[in-house]
Structure 1
Amino acid sequence: MEISDDEDNVFHIPPAASQLPERLVAMCDFANDVELRGYLHPVIRAIILHFWLAYDHPFVDGNGRSARALFYWAMLRGGFWLFEFISISQALLRSPADYYRAFLLTETDDNDLNYFILHQMRCIETAIQDLHAYLARKSAERRALQEHIRDVGWVNQRQQALLEHALEHAEAKYTFDSHQRSHGISMMTARTDLLILEEKGLLVSRLEGKQRVFRPVSELETLINKAGKTST
């Protein structure tokens, strides 16, 4: 099946379908280090696997997604755990023409993979920078939320600690006993802390057996922002 654009410009003609079984076996052997001679860096292997699957184009649809999935698998298998959180897809989507150009240059220059490898390395670098920017942005947002919590006049230090924990753990559960043990306070004080947070709409509770269990509301971040701005 030819790969072309909307104007019928052909970019790539995959190998014949009759060759696919043999080619896919070879690709799997390469992915799993079968009879590999010498050392090949895991990142280079992952990029080659990306190109290989995209080149062979074994599926009617979803070849690009499958190629990226194979890339992530190889990266994680190679010990690059950070790629659980890194997406090269966004970097590719920003300039798809560069991706196709690198692919075509490789194919038309005697399958010189340097074009594709260099392009993918740039995408990886961009994706890592995007992750750092995201983490910095989320850290700034979290610090701002903590400031909003401190700005709420009726929140004591124990309630502040609970709310900060709840923002990081949306599925967290709190009980009178757990709050009492966490802060070394009386049961009456623990009850008062949690019931006030529920009264203010930041926690919601229900009976589970004989125990009242509190959970953060789904819109906790928005409510804290509003409460902090109102108090200031």
Structure 2
Amino acid sequence: DKTLNDQTETGRFRKPHEKIVVADMYNEVFHDPPPADQLEKRMDDMCNFANAKTPDYFIHPVIRAIILHFWLAYDHPFVDGNGRTARALFYWSMLRNNYWLFEFVSISQIILNHPAKYGRAFLYTETDDNDLTYFMLYHIEVIKRAIAELHQYIRRKTEILQTIETEMQGILTFNHRQRALISHALRHPQQRYTIRSHQMNHNVVYQTSRLDLFDLEKRGVLESRKIGKTWYFTPAPDLEEKLSKSE
């Protein structure tokens, strides 16, 4: 929202009088997008390709997603935000084809951290009769690196959670029900708990459940909010840090 100085430019194609070029940090132009009067036809073609209406032979979904990324970036149909939109289109295509992992994989940061590599892959493709091999090989390496970084992140988080859970077993001030809830909260930081749900999960009376949750709130593990007649409890935003300090 409000990423453009002129909000009337939002969501529309660039016009013939709006000269849009892609330049490097030294303002050297390395890509001059197709004329604006061709955009409607080119975007129709791209949408047909995105929805697998064309061509009439199989294209691997990952390759299709990469081509869509290049296609929108090449056509540069908007006044601004073409890079973000191209990456969003790549994600959309991957998720649409059930590559659900890409809900958690970030290619954007890798591309933004190494803009020269992205620029060279784009330039090599354009200067070699739009041979997409260069861009595809580059993009596949980005995907591989992004997945590797996700795996590293998961390993780090798993080790941290396992350490906290192991050491939490020795904290006698938390009962077994509270430890179970904390363990769940560490893995589901957006989860909402109620006295009733905690009661049902541990087969205890209402008052015991209530004491458990309000005790955790008092210690800063949970935050509470009353909506109507129901109390809702959510994990503290800095739960992991608080538990680490309490060890």
Kindly indicate whether residue 166 of structure 2 is the aligned counterpart of residue 147 of structure 1. yes
Whether contact under 8 Å (2:61, 2:93) holds in the other structure is yes
Cα deviations by residue, 1:63-117 (Å, 9 ceiling, x for unpaired): 1111111111111122211111111112212321111111111111111110011
Partner of 1:172: 192
Q: Does 78-87 or 184-193 show the bigger shift?
A: 184-193
CA positional deviation for 1:166 = 2.7
Q: Does 105-114 or 188-197 show the bigger shift?
A: 188-197
**Which letter does structure 1 place at the counterpart of 2:194?**
Y
Partner of 1:98: 117
Q: Does 184-193 or 15-24 show the bigger shift?
A: 184-193
Residues 224 and 52 of structure 1, relative CA distance in 2, 3 Å threshold: same
User: Equivalent residue of 2:182, what SS?
Assistant: helix
Residues 179 and 39 of structure 1, relative CA distance in 2, 3 Å threshold: closer
Kindly indicate whether residue 146 of structure 2 is the aligned counterpart of residue 127 of structure 1. yes
**Which letter does structure 2 place at the counterpart of 1:83?**
F
Q: Take 1:154 and 1:44, find their aligned partners in 2: how far apart are those partners? A: 55
Partner of 1:27: 46
- Pairwise CA RMSD: 2.3
Kindly indicate whether residue 22 of structure 2 is the aligned counterpart of residue 3 of structure 1. yes
**Which letter does structure 2 place at the counterpart of 1:55?**
Y
Whether contact under 8 Å (1:88, 1:127) holds in the other structure is yes
CA positional deviation for 1:163 = 1.8
Task: Return 5+ residue gaps in structure 2 as ranges.
Answer: 1-19
Match of 2:131 among 107, 112, 119: 112
Partner of 2:78: 59
Task: Return 5+ residue gaps in structure 1 as ranges.
Answer: none
Higher relative contact order (CA 8 A, sep 6+): 1
Whether contact under 8 Å (1:49, 1:70) holds in the other structure is yes
Partner of 1:77: 96
Query: TM-score normalised to the size of structure 1?
Result: 0.86
Q: Does 138-147 or 121-130 show the bigger shift?
A: 138-147
Query: TM-score normalised to the size of structure 2?
Result: 0.81
Q: Take 1:207 and 1:27, find their aligned partners in 2: how far apart are those partners? A: 49
Identity %: 51
- The structure number with the bigger radius of gyration is 1
Q: Take 1:181 and 1:116, find their aligned partners in 2: how far apart are those partners? A: 54
Kindly indicate whether residue 157 of structure 2 is the aligned counterpart of residue 138 of structure 1. yes
Number of equivalent positions: 227
Q: Take 2:39 and 2:225, find their aligned partners in 1: how far apart are those partners? A: 58
Partner of 1:220: 239
Where does structure 1 differ by over 6 angstroms across 4 or more consecutive aligned residues?
A: none
